Amino acid sequence: MSEMSIVIPCHDRGENGPIWLEELFQTLKSQTYQDFDIVISDQSKNDLILDKCKEWSDIFDFTYIRYEGKVPCDNINTALENCEGRIVKMIFSDDIFTRDDALQKIYDAFAQENCKWLFTGYCETDDGKTFYNQKHPVWTKETVEGRNLLSSPSAVAFLNDSKVLFDTQVKLLLDVDFYHRMRVENGMPFFIEEVLFANRNHDNRVSSQATSQYDCVIQHDTGGWLMNKSEYEYIKQKYKSFFENDKKYPDEN
């Protein structure tokens, strides 16, 4: 059994799907840390992702699952439920690692006392080659409300026995809802400030206005951000006691 499982949820992105996955595999092949297996849950309606995995089957140890449902969060959960590594590193199939020592730095971080989960620095890319807008992960008091300065789940890694699953009732807030429950269960995450991966910008990202409905603005003293009203109200009701407790986490009490 590998020490680390790399979770890659996949879905049909047309001809870009296998191209972007190839680029991700290339960045995994070049990692200095190689004690990992790859778990793919594929929501595609074709075999393009499967064929790409077959091309790399002599290089990587794969667990491939064809997800037959229609819920993106459930697709992610399917991959998470099939991980066997002590450490789980998530990365979406359209994102890539930007450094050859990314996995080594993540592995080393878990040697720290009480490190159960962590975030890394991140940046953006349009073409998988040019990187810009480098940022450090920051937890805000409004994280669960959608003020996400932590990045996508591609920024997160966690101990397998500390994971929670994604809420299948949300789409736009899938990441921050997950982060909130991880912190409730495991305390404040550790932060690796160095930029280790890039989010790929394209119109089919969950956070893009082409795929998600933004129909309200959330206003705070720290500023405002666009949000989906029904998801926001769902979160406020789901964590009603948290909001009534001045949004304090167990590690803050």
Q: Phi/psi of residue 240, each to 5°?
A: -55, -45
Q: What mean pLDDT is predicted for residues 80-105?
A: 97
The pTM of the full predicted model, rounded to 2 decimals, is 0.94
> Is 38's pLDDT higher than 70?
yes
Domain that includes residue 38, residue range: 4-202
DSSP state of 226: E
Q: What is the CA radius of gyration of the chain?
A: 18
CATH number of residue 18's parent domain = 3.90.550.10
Number of domains in the chain: 1
Strands 117-125 and 62-66: unpaired
**pLDDT recorded at residue 212:** 63
Q: What are the pLDDT digits (tens) for 59-80?
A: 999 999 999 988 889 999 999 9
Confidence of residue 1 (pLDDT cuts 50, 70, 90): confident
Residue 237 lies in a domain: no
Packed helices 16-29 and 48-55: angle between N→C axes, nearest 10 degrees: 30
Residue 36 lies in a domain: yes
Task: Find all residues with CB under 8 Å of 122, minimum gap 6, and list them.
Answer: 134, 135, 137, 151, 152, 154, 155, 195, 196, 197, 198, 199
Q: CB of 48 within 8 A of CB of 13?
A: no
Q: What are the pLDDT digits (tens) for 135-187?
A: 999 999 999 999 999 999 999 999 999 999 999 999 999 999 999 999 999 99
Q: What are the pLDDT digits (tens) for 96-126?
A: 999 999 999 999 999 998 999 999 999 999 9
Q: What are the pLDDT digits (tens) for 9-28?
A: 998 777 899 999 999 999 99
Q: Phi/psi of residue 187, each to 5°?
A: 85, -175
From residue 6, how far is each of 67, 90, 109, 157 by CA, in Å? 17, 6, 16, 9
Average pLDDT, the chain: 93
Residue 219 lies in a domain: no
Residue 21 lies in a domain: yes
Residue 35 lies in a domain: yes
Residue 222 lies in a domain: no
Residue 34 lies in a domain: yes
> Is 200's pLDDT higher than 80?
yes
Q: Indicate the SS3 state at residue 122.
A: strand
